[in-house]
Amino acid sequence: MALYEIIERAELDAPVLVGALEGWVDAGGTASATVAFLTADSEEIAAFDTEALYDYRVNRPTLDIVDGTMQRLEWPALTVRLVRNPKRALLVLSGPEPHMRWKEFSASVVDLALDLGAVGWVSLGAIAAAVPHTRATPLIATASKPELLKEEDRLPPGLLRVPAAAITTIELAFAEQGLPSVGFWAQVPHYIPEPYLPAVATILQRLARHLGVELALDELIEQGEAQRQKLNELVSQRPEAEAYLEQLERMASTERVPSGEEIAAEVERFLADQERGDNPFEG
């Protein structure tokens, strides 16, 4: 039994399936904010069976209670939306990361892509990292074939072994079927608990170059600069945050791509800090 349902079919010329899921590689909700921006003007054309993929005790539906009367349940949704870009149609997968049946899920995403005529896959993600907000957002790329990337793309050197995300199983499933797949992963300052708009803009700019499409990003870029300015003001009021930021800037000045071991160590350090509540940028 298929895990998805096509709600509406459309005649499309070689669309590309793009995806980001809430969860492991969605630092501060940055990847989710990226697809939300991308799908601001879109239509839902397919949906996955959330009953088969979610544990509602982990990702609970939202209940609306009005004047003591239960009115409505809003269930988590995992959908594919169509973005009709003038140069190329985009299919965008988004929603919470499934809790189970990842192998079936990734195979179903490939089946759906082929059913809709998609010719490739792009993963979008955001990883919490020891990077300062005062510098350009670093972007790490992955690909099923090196020629799919550009010389500007940064690759994690050596072996990188980290906990996988459902989105990465999709990228692998596409590659195993001989379909081109790439991933663009923004490194987001780990001390920012909300969507980091400069990273959203960076991901979308790279996506646009990869697909040969144009995206209206001027307002988003301005919002990102405003967010950076607020962070600068916060840092100026907290000596401990200022000292920590200077440390991150010294690390960034090396302009060296961190090794797989360093990235993995940073992920572990970030998770430990989160458990302890250590964040010099929070009061």
Residue carrying structure tokens 């906990």: 163
Please report whether residue 281 resides in a domain.
no
pLDDT tens, position by position, 6-43: 999 888 999 999 999 999 999 999 999 999 999 999 99
Range of the domain at 23: 4-276
d(CA 25, CA 99): 14
Please report whether residue 96 resides in a domain.
yes
- CATH code: domain of residue 162: 3.40.50.10900
Residue carrying structure tokens 């920590």: 244
**pLDDT over threshold 60, residue 132:** yes
Domain count, the chain: 1
Please report whether residue 14 resides in a domain.
yes
Cβ neighbours of 282 (radius 10 Å): 11
In Å, how far from its chain's centre is CA 206? 13
- Which residues have C-beta within 8 Å of that of residue 265, sequence separation ≥ 6? none
Please report whether residue 206 resides in a domain.
yes
Please report whether residue 283 resides in a domain.
no
Instruction: Kindly state the average pLDDT of the residues 191-204.
Output: 96
**pLDDT over threshold 90, residue 257:** no
Please report whether residue 282 resides in a domain.
no
| Residue 212 confidence (pLDDT) | 94
How much is the pTM?
0.88
**pLDDT over threshold 90, residue 177:** yes
